């Protein structure tokens, strides 16, 4: 099986690396060359452009947002280059509108299409322990499973329509944002009365909320450790906007998401856009006039 991989960013690079290490024949492309050279040194082939994937059986893409996916996959020629019967696995977090468009366009061109966004940060990707949220035709998912088994610990199938996986990813990221926002506000409340936010979060994530997301992000908030960014705050803003867009399309009120969007904008306006999205927690403290 010949694999193409487009998008060697924070998450894509270790995912592609794991496929190479597992013995797959892999061809890679990325806009910046440093990760391309790293994958080449591991044995990957290098594509000349996004359109240089006409011979692959499966193309995996892990790109940042709608604009990048459109620019590279559609306008860059990757989709048009694929041979009849090839499969595109899009692992990006994108809008439902774009997911529908890509599924339709691939179908018209005789390609298979799978939506497969992931849960997990870079260390999880490096370990090959991502949770993969997949949607696509059963026959296509069966062909993709050997790749999913290398990149992830478990594949969760949510249906045959691409949007079904993408909306699950948006809902999951909404839950993570809510956890960060809640811990930020609660910690600011404790600190506002002279208590230790760090001690509060340590207690909280060891008792009532002793779950991976709370423990991981709670630790980051307690230590104010927002760099290097595993997932930039601007991407959190992008995802909550996409969740609200999806909610409006289905007439689903999401008042908490609306509040978080404003808080993300507050953080970006105060220069925190490049920090990890856990820095959303600083908004509550800043509004309360809490320093340090």
Q: Give a three-class secondary structure readout of 220-249.
A: HHHHCCCCCCCCEHHHHHHHHHHHHHHHHH
Q: Is the pLDDT of residue 215 over 80?
A: yes
Q: Stretch 88-100: mean pLDDT, rounded?
A: 98
Task: Convert the pLDDT of each residue in 140-165 to its tens digit.
Answer: 999 999 999 999 999 999 999 999 99
Count of domains observed in the chain: 2
Together in a domain, 24 and 60: yes
Domain boundary among 140, 160, 180: 160
Q: Which domain holds residue 277?
A: 166-287
72 & 172 share domain: no
Point out the catalytic residue in the list 13, 21, 83, 169: 169
Is 128 a domain residue?
yes
What is the pLDDT, as a whole number, of residue 292?
A: 67
Q: Say how far apart CA 20 and CA 38 lie, in whole Å.
A: 12
Residue 75 pLDDT exceeds 80 = yes
For residue 275, is it within any domain? yes
Domain boundary among 160, 184, 204: 160
Share of the chain above pLDDT 90, in %: 99
* Model confidence pLDDT, tens digit, residues 226-235: 999 999 999 9
182 in a structural domain: yes
Element (H, E) at 42: helix 34-42
- What mean pLDDT value characterizes the chain? 97
**pLDDT value for 191:** 97
Q: Say yes or no: 44 and 86 in one domain.
A: yes
Measured on CA atoms in the order 16, 8, 89, 43, is the torsion positive or negative?
Answer: negative
CATH number, domain of 143, equals: 3.40.50.720
pLDDT of residue 265: 98
User: What's the confidence (pLDDT) of residue 291?
Assistant: 80
pTM of the entire predicted model: 0.96
Q: Residues 165-207: pLDDT tens digits?
A: 999 999 999 999 999 999 999 999 999 999 999 999 999 999 9
**Is 291 among the catalytic positions?**
no
Question: Per the domain annotation, does 292 fall within a domain?
Answer: no
**Among the residues of 152-279, which ranges form H helices?**
162-192, 197-204, 212-223, 233-249, 255-269
Last residue of a domain, one of 160, 181, 211: 160
Q: Are residues 65 and 172 in the same domain?
A: no
Give yes or no: residues 104 and 13 share one domain: yes
In a domain, 77, yes or no: yes
CATH number of the domain within which 207 lies: 1.10.1040.10
């Amino acid at each position: 099986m010949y694999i193409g991989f487009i998008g060697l960013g924070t998450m894509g690079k270790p995912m592609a690396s794991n496929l190479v290490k597992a013995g797959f024949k892999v061809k890679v492309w990325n806009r910046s060359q440093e990760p391309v050279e790293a994958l080449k040194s591991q044995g990957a082939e290098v594509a000349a452009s996004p359109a240089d994937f006409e011979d692959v059986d499966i193309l995996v893409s892990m790109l940042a947002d709608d604009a990048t996916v459109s620019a590279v996959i559609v306008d860059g020629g990757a989709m048009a280059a694929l041979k009849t019967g090839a499969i595109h696995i899009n692992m990006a977090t994108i809008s439902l509108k774009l997911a529908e468009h890509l599924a339709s366009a691939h179908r018209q061109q005789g390609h298979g299409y799978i939506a497969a966004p992931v849960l997990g940060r870079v260390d999880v990707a490096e370990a090959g322990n991502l949770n993969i949220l997949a949607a696509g035709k059963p026959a296509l998912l069966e062909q993709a499973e050997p790749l999913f088994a290398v990149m992830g610990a478990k594949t969760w199938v949510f249906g045959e329509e691409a949007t079904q996986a993408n909306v699950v990813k948006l809902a999951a990221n909404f839950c993570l944002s809510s956890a960060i926002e809640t811990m930020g506000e609660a910690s600011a409340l404790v600190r506002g009365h002279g208590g230790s936010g760090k001690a509060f979060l340590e207690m909280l994530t060891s008792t009532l909320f002793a779950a991976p997301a709370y423990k991981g992000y709670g630790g980051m908030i307690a230590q104010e450790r927002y760099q290097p960014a595993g997932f930039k705050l601007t991407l959190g803003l992008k995802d909550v906007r996409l969740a609200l867009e999806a909610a409006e399309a289905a007439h689903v009120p999401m008042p908490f998401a609306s509040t978080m969007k404003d808080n993300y904008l507050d953080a970006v306006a105060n220069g925190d856009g490049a920090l990890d999205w856990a820095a959303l927690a600083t908004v509550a403290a800043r509004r309360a006039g809490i320093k340090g």
